[in-house]
């Protein structure tokens, strides 16, 4: 490990999967350079990267030509390759997207067209074919994505951190970047009372992305609005309740995929996540409130526009969050074998969703740069799947400029 605590070639801020993959990519291209990764928590992957559905997304949903479509397609093989090389277990169990009424069939057909435009392998199934594959599921028709899989992204991130350290990188935990300045020569980061100068810096702050970008003078027109996603683990059900991941057909008006039935790498299943406006960016319990975070959301015009546009669905999610029975109704649409007594609370996650001042939820991955910095502004799902190609893109952009 390089031991210069005051001056480095590259600083990476944020020890989630995107920051870690970026640090590894910099190291790969510049093995002799001094690279420091700064993470404010006492371990890596404590936020989105360690609190997600664990799905390796094949790329069915994303707008053709978008970065999400490109990076998720590349991300599936990159993630599998990384796991194969480093002995991390994963399973390509496939996914069924199930339509349960004629309205959903129409939306499912649009999704099929999109998946084909993205070059994703997708099979159309009748209701009977879907039920033959998954007897516990109700479906009028379904799409099968055979290349969707599952992995524990917390394990992937932990292995990335080990590799980074083994290859000479400095990982500083408990190191919160609180401010800094950019000069002609590079950038200075404040970490409490200390400073670190870097030739270039990449900010992968997830739920704090907008604050970090503003703090370093990047011109941005978005704010991070946190959406909590609550899960339940399922008990009392056979190990083969479902063999694939089971997803509803998503609502095209919403950027989230709907409550799905997910197999876990350590056995068992979860259902989730819903999408509830959170009152704290890094708050994982319903009761968590940060007055600063709340005031920042409430004072932002884009927040009120999001609420106005999504009032119906937002209220529905909020009610389902409060009443487990309503949450279960979402699952019962496609699997009525699960009962209330089977649902056990499971660790929640909070999504960092960038919202523009006009109230538009920014759908694609978004980056912005200053002379010596690059800020990851919007890296929602499928950014865990896509972390390795995102990192390649970041480093090319950072070094090309």
Ligand X SMILES: Cc1cc2nc3c(=O)[nH]c(=O)nc-3n(C[C@H](O)[C@H](O)[C@H](O)COP(=O)(O)OP(=O)(O)OC[C@H]3O[C@@H](n4cnc5c(N)ncnc54)[C@H](O)[C@@H]3O)c2cc1C
Smallest distance from ligand X to CB 140, Å: 25
- Nearest residue to 354 (alpha-carbon basis) of 330, 326, 381: 381
Q: Would you tell me how many other CB atoms lie within 10 Å of the CB of residue 202?
A: 28
Q: Which is nearer to ligand X, 125 or 354 (CB)?
A: 354
Residues 6 or more apart whose Cβ sits within 8 Å of residue 139: 96, 98, 99, 100, 125, 127, 130, 131, 334
Q: Which position among 35, 97, 171, 383 is part of the footprint of ligand X (CB under 6 A)?
A: 383
Distance CA 98, CA 287 (A): 33
DSSP string, 322-361: H-HHHHHHHHHTT-TT--GGGEEEEEEEEEEEEEETTSPB
Distance CA 120, CA 76 (A): 11
Q: Which is nearer to ligand X, 51 or 114 (CB)?
A: 51
Residue ranges in 106-135 that form contacts with ligand X under rule CB under 6 A: none
Using rule CB under 6 A, residue 373 touches ligand X: no
How many residues sit in the footprint of ligand X (CB under 6 A)? 42
Q: Which is nearer to ligand X, 139 or 394 (CB)?
A: 394
Using rule CB under 6 A, residue 24 touches ligand X: no
Smallest distance from ligand X to CB 103, Å: 25
Residue ranges in 50-89 that form contacts with ligand X under rule CB under 6 A: 51-55, 57
Q: Which position among 198, 377, 384, 388 is part of the footprint of ligand X (CB under 6 A)?
A: 384
Using rule CB under 6 A, residue 364 touches ligand X: no
Distance CA 215, CA 30 (A): 28
Using rule CB under 6 A, residue 260 touches ligand X: no
Residues 361 and 355: beta-carbon distance below 8 Å: yes
In the bound state, the residue with its beta carbon closest to ligand X is 16
Distance CA 328, CA 339 (A): 8
Q: Residues 167-206 vs ligand X: string with x where CB under 6 A? A: ---------xx--------------------------xxx
Binding stretches for ligand X (CB under 6 A): 13-19, 38-41, 46-49, 51-55, 57, 176-177, 204-208, 212, 229, 273, 349-351, 376, 379-385
């Amino acid at each position: 490990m390089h031991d210069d605590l005051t001056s480095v070639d590259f600083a990476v801020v944020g020890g989630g999967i995107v920051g870690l993959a970026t640090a590894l990519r910099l190291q790969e291209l510049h093995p002799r350079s001094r690279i420091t990764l700064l993470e404010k928590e006492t371990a890596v992957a404590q936020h989105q990267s360690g609190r997600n559905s664990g799905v390796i997304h094949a790329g069915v949903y994303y707008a053709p030509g978008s970065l999400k479509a490109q990076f998720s397609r590349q991300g599936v093989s990159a993630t599998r390759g990384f796991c194969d090389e480093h002995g991390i277990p994963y399973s390509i169990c496939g996914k069924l997207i199930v339509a349960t009424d004629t309205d959903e069939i129409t939306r499912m057909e649009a999704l099929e067209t999109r998946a084909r435009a993205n070059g994703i392998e997708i099979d159309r199934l009748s209701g009977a074919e879907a039920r033959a594959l998954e007897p516990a599921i109700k479906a009028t028709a379904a799409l099968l994505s055979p290349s969707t899989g599952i992995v524990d992204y917390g394990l992937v991130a932990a292995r990335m951190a080990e590799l980074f350290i083994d290859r000479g990188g400095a990982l500083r935990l408990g190191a919160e970047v609180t401010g800094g300045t950019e000069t002609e020569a590079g950038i200075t980061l404040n970490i409490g009372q200390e400073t670190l100068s870097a030739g270039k810096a990449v900010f992968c702050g997830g739920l704090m992305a907008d604050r970090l970008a503003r703090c370093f003078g990047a011109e941005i027109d978005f704010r991070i609005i946190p959406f909590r996603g609550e899960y339940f683990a399922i008990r009392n059900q056979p190990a083969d309740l479902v063999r694939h991941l089971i997803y509803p057909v998503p609502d095209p008006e919403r950027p989230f995929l709907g409550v799905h039935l997910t197999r876990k790498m350590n056995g068992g299943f979860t259902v989730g996540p819903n999408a509830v406006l959170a009152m704290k960016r890094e708050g994982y319990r319903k009761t968590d409130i940060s007055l600063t975070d709340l005031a920042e959301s409430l004072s932002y015009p884009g927040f009120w526009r999001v609420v106005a546009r999504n009032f119906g669905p937002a209220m529905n999610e909020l009610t389902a969050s409060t009443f487990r029975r309503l949450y279960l109704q979402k699952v019962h649409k496609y699997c009525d074998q699960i009962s209330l007594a089977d649902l056990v609370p499971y660790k929640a996650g909070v999504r960092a969703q960038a919202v523009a001042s006009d109230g538009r939820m920014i759908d694609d991955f978004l980056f912005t740069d200053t002379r010596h910095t690059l800020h990851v502004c919007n890296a929602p799902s499928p950014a865990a799947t896509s972390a390795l190609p995102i990192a390649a893109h970041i480093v090319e952009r950072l070094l090309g400029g």
